[in-house]
Structure 1
């Protein structure tokens, strides 16, 4: 016969086993990696701007962690260890949405700002001097591919997004053309493989902005032609959701609260 103390120990072990975290199914987490157009607070300070990543959680049923930060590029996000932080955080089936492009252009020939990528669409490298140190700079797609492959190796899914457009009504009439970073983003997603997906966020946003007209869209840009007001950020977020919905939800299928028809714009 078991003693009272043995019975108590056995009961404790049973309770521990039934409450073990390993028995609880974990919901995937969505992580956002990008610049100020995605980041909380947008252009920063009291500018009246916000990033679209601040509104994205309203469209999905999964937890969202916004790691976007103003002023960053694919290069500086890499060099500062921010991609490594995400690589260490993600667990299988987590989703990482990556969107850069606004701070990745420029020239390395005069003064390196630490954000500019090496020109090129592949494995080209450039030698530069930043903060008095000789550095090797990769291309924009190379930074995305390196991060994406490391994330998918951990079991995560990656969505590479083209950059959001600057105000396409700024010149008086509507004008939008995709930058090279859209092409680079699409090719990076293809290079990462089947666990990566591309959303042309820029085109989906531009389509909605065109339908809304100049006066409405101008009101979305209180500071400059890049950073949106909260209302504008909400519209930009919905444009990203439209891109997902038009692709059947991609890795977020079943987790999007909106229906395709409820979001402005047409599928492309």
Structure 2
């Protein structure tokens, strides 16, 4: 009898573990660099954020991948795989923008989206993929991720892009009037949680660093990609931004 009860308890505990909600993270190399295991000493914040969460209660999957824009994360079928698994109670944190300013159609990357959040389209024969494609605006793609997530009764969370180590007149250059603003506008239009990483991290940089110090401590190779220390700094900023949104249900899974 005791063995049967123990077996039943184990089965129940396992089923509860399996039914944990999942936090899906999508984005570019600033969210997951390379394999996400620190190759070349570079890391994205999504690879180091799990210690802030009670992973006995929530499962975390970082699906971000270097070089992708809001457009190509969708067109490569990566979003479809998440949608196939997404279930009620899950979460999606999204951060795009660093690669959306590239060429819309070329033979090397073809990853750019139309600037802004409008409904404009550009019809192309993609020189890279050899496929016919209708290209949309950055905002169109972001709003699609938000709406698709909500359609599964999951919770979308939009982040503005983390700032680069680019300074002017003693200030970190923001994405104002471009991708940071457009991300905020998409979140507001769709009524979902927004974390302004661009502004929040820029202020933190300015409070304790300058361009040279940031390069020495966080940006060993260029002005965009962080080392482990920089990724941890940015992950902490994500959590701080989340905590400033107390109504967001993801907060309940943070460690006390």
- TM band (smaller chain): 0.7 to 0.9
For residue 256 of structure 1, report the CA deviation from its aligned partner.
2.0
Partner of 2:53: 60
Secondary structure, aligned partner of 1:223: coil
The alignment covers a number of residue pairs equal to 242
Q: Which residue of 175, 178, 195 maps to 2:175?
A: 178
What are the equivalent positions in structure 2 for 1:79-158 lying under 5 Å apart?
79-108=75-104, 113-130=109-126, 131=128, 132-158=130-156
Partner-residue secondary structure (3-state), 2:149:
helix
Unmatched 5+ stretches in structure 2: none
**Aligned counterpart for 1:49 among listed residues 36, 42, 50:** 42
Deviation at 1:72, TM superposition (A): 0.4
Q: 2:245: which partner in 1? A: 247
Residue 68 of structure 2 is matched in structure 1 by 72
CA deviations on 1:29-55 (whole Å, 9 max, x unpaired) are: 111000000014489984321000111
- Deviation track 1:122-164 (CA, whole Å, cap 9, x = no partner) reads 1111122313443210101111111221111111100011001
Say whether the 8 Å CA contact 1:43–1:227 is kept in structure 2: no
Assess if the C-alpha contact under 8 Å between 1:42 and 1:49 holds in 2.
no
Gap regions ≥5 residues in structure 1: 1-11, 259-268
Shift in Å, 1:19: 4.4
CA RMSD of aligned residues (A): 2.8
Q: TM-score, normalised by structure 1?
A: 0.80
Instruction: Say which of 25, 32, 38 aligns to 1:32.
Output: 25
Q: Distance in 2 between matches of 1:144 and 1:117?
A: 11
Task: Say which one has the larger Rg.
Answer: 1
Question: What secondary structure, in the 3-state scheme, does the structure 2 residue paired with 1:209 have?
Answer: helix
